[in-house]
Amino acid sequence: MNTPSNLKYTKSDEWFDPATGAAGITDYAQSQLSDIVFVELLVDEGEEIEVGKPIASVESVKASAEIYAPAAGKVSAVNKGLSDAPETLNSDPYGEAWMIKIEGGAAGEVMDAAEYEKYCEGRSH
C-alpha cells in the first residue's frame, strides 16, 4: 500500500495535502474499488465546501462510492480531465488523479501515514 508521508488521510479513504490543498482518494481505496470506469466531480471552482461534503462519485466494475471533502475551504481547482480518464485513479491516485484543490483548507479529522496504514491493516482482518 502506497501512503506518502507528507499527506493526511481520513477514515473514509480520502487524502489531503496541506501544502498544496490537493485532495483525492487513497491507494487503498482505489485497490478496494478495483478498475475505476467512471468519475463525476460534484463541486466547482469557487465553491465553499465543508468537511464531509460529497466532492465526487466514482464507479468501478465492482462498486460505486462517494468521495468526501477531507478539508473545509474554497475549491481553487477541479481536475476536469479526470472524467475523461477515470483509470488514472488506479494508476496514480496521489499524482495525476487529484480531484480538487482546497484553498485555506482546514483539515477535518485526519491521520498521518503511519496511523492510516495501521487503520487499514485493522480493516483487512
Show pLDDT as tens, one digit a residue, over the chain (125 residues). Answer: 899 999 999 999 999 999 999 999 999 999 999 999 999 999 999 999 999 999 999 999 989 999 999 999 999 999 999 999 999 999 999 999 999 999 987 888 999 999 999 999 998 64
Q: Which domains occur in the chain, in start order?
A: 8-109 (2.40.50.100)
pLDDT confidence of residue 106:
80
For residue 71, give the C-alpha cell.
478539508
pLDDT confidence of residue 33:
93
In which residue are the cell numbers 487499514 written? Answer: 120
**Dist. CA 43–CA 113, nearest whole Å:** 26
Counting Cα atoms < 13 Å in the Cβ hemisphere of 45 gives 5
On whether the pTM is more than 0.75, the answer is yes
**Dist. CA 37–CA 22, nearest whole Å:** 22
Residue type, 50: E
